């Protein structure tokens, strides 16, 4: 049985989903050619930007905006899946070895499917 407080993570996931949904909407509707620093921070907080390296916080061009929108959309999908795992009672366990995922990792990435070792 999981010892984590799923209510805490349900709240975190729902908040993050709302933020990302707004960000995606902003990219699509309001300002497709550029991204504000504030918005960048919001999206960056939810997305693994390893593939962008040091350019992640620099200037975004339109093509990159679209990439960010896609990544945000993917993360929203991950969040939806995590919320479903909370409903199913399988939330917080590594998909590879079924061991509990450390709570610190879940606080950093609430939609994590695996432990750090298997990520
Ligand atoms: Zn694992």
Residue 73 counted as domain residue: yes
The CA 94 to ligand 1 mean position distance, Å, reads: 5
Which has more pLDDT, 33 or 94?
94
What are the tens digits of pLDDT across the range 24-75? 888 777 655 555 655 666 666 555 544 444 444 444 455 667 788 888 999 9
The CA 107 to ligand 1 mean position distance, Å, reads: 17
Q: How far is CA 14 from the centre of its chain?
A: 11
Q: How far is CA 90 from the centre of its chain?
A: 18
The confidence score (pLDDT) of residue 99 equals 94
Residue 108 Cα distances to 27, 45, 116, angstroms: 25, 9, 11
Residue 20 counted as domain residue: yes
Other C-beta atoms lying within 10 Å of the C-beta of residue 51: 9
Residue 47 counted as domain residue: yes
pTM of structure: 0.70
Residue 104 counted as domain residue: no
Residue 32 counted as domain residue: yes
Q: What is the DSSP string of 22-84?
A: HHHHIIIII-TT---HHHHHHHHHHS--GGGGGGGGS---HHHHHHHHHHHHHHHHHHHHHHH
Question: What is the count of structural domains for the chain?
Answer: 1
The CA 90 to ligand 1 mean position distance, Å, reads: 14
Place of tokens 């590594």: 94
CA distance 40 to 43: 5
Q: 45 is in which domain, residue-wise? A: 6-90
CA distance 119 to 116: 5
Residue 100 DSSP label: B
Residue 112 counted as domain residue: no
The confidence score (pLDDT) of residue 116 equals 93
Residue 55 counted as domain residue: yes
Residue 113 counted as domain residue: no
């Amino acid at each position: 049985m999981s010892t984590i407080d799923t209510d805490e993570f349900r709240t975190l996931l729902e908040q993050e989903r709302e933020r990302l949904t707004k960000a995606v909407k902003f990219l699509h509707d309001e300002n497709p050619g550029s991204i504000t620093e504030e918005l960048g921070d919001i999206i960056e907080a939810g997305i693994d930007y390893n593939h962008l390296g040091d350019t992640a916080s620099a200037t975004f061009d339109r093509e990159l905006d679209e990439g960010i929108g896609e990544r945000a959309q993917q993360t929203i999908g991950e969040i939806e899946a995590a919320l479903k795992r909370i409903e199913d009672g399988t939330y917080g366990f590594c998909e590879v070895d079924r061991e509990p995922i450390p709570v610190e990792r879940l606080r950093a990435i609430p939609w994590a499917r695996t432990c750090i070792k298997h990520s």
